[in-house]
Amino acid sequence: MPKTRKSPLMFALSRCITILVLVILIVPSIASESHDSPSPVSRSQNKLPRGYVIYQNDRFNFQIAYPKTVLHPGKVPSEDGAGEVFSSKDGKAELCVCGQYNTLSCTLKEMMEDDVASEGKAVVTMKRVGGDWYVVSGTVGSTVFYIKGAVRGDQISKFIFKYPFSQKSTYDSIVTAIEHSFIPGPN
């Protein structure tokens, strides 16, 4: 079947509809008030699995979702507003989310290598670098780690999720949902 070409009028109309839909979806989220705490309303709320809530960081303007029945915010928030640590009830799983300024102008590869080095004797199973992000995962002893960082302007947004290898079947789907919800902060 031969391809039919859209007329200029139909093409312009379809672009206008697309722009209108984007405006309808984006404007309410820009207008909503953000909080440096779990929030039921967010930029990516409609994509979240049931039981997940958003943590929005006001200082570095990043957000991430976590399962509220599995991970719980720390009792004492960070004094400087850079992030938060969420832990499982048994304390064996931990999600650390944070932002910072890239004062040393580190590259993504340098940041990723620093993260690997900070894990000690890590066995790295995956390393990837994209346009403004990196991911590294692996194990240290019997603990699985997954780290995703992003650089936008002079800001770094990052999360580190660690959990026991023995609970991998439970936490693998959670780390996937968390990774999909992560929205690094713009500068």
**Which tens digit of pLDDT belongs to each residue from 8-24?**
433 333 333 333 333 33
| Inter-residue contact 62 to 184 (CB < 8 Å) | yes
Average pLDDT over residues 118-140: 93
The candidate with the shortest Cα–Cα distance to 55, out of 19, 26, 86, is 86
| Inter-residue contact 53 to 42 (CB < 8 Å) | no
Residues 12 and 88: their CA atoms lie apart, in Å, by 51
In the chain, count H helices and then E strands.
Answer: 3, 10
Rounded (5°) CA angle 61-75-56: 15
pTM as predicted: 0.73
Q: 39-43, 88-92, 170-174: which range is least confident on average?
A: 39-43
Does residue 160 carry a pLDDT above 60? Answer: yes
| Inter-residue contact 83 to 56 (CB < 8 Å) | no
- Average model confidence (pLDDT) for the chain? 79
Sheet holding 94-101, edge to edge: 72-73, 83-87, 94-101, 155-164, 143-152, 133-140, 123-129
Does residue 50 carry a pLDDT above 60? Answer: yes
Question: Which runs of E-coded beta strand occur in 6-70?
Answer: 38-39, 52-57, 62-67
In this prediction, residue 79 has a pLDDT band, given cuts at 50, 70 and 90, of confident
Average pLDDT over residues 86-112: 94
Q: Which residues contact 40 (CB under 8 A, 6 or more apart)?
A: 53, 54
In this prediction, residue 151 has a pLDDT band, given cuts at 50, 70 and 90, of very high
Compare 167 and 13 and report the one with higher pLDDT: 167
* CATH superfamily ID and name for 33-181: Mog1/PsbP, alpha/beta/alpha sandwich (3.40.1000.10)
Average pLDDT over residues 56-81: 90
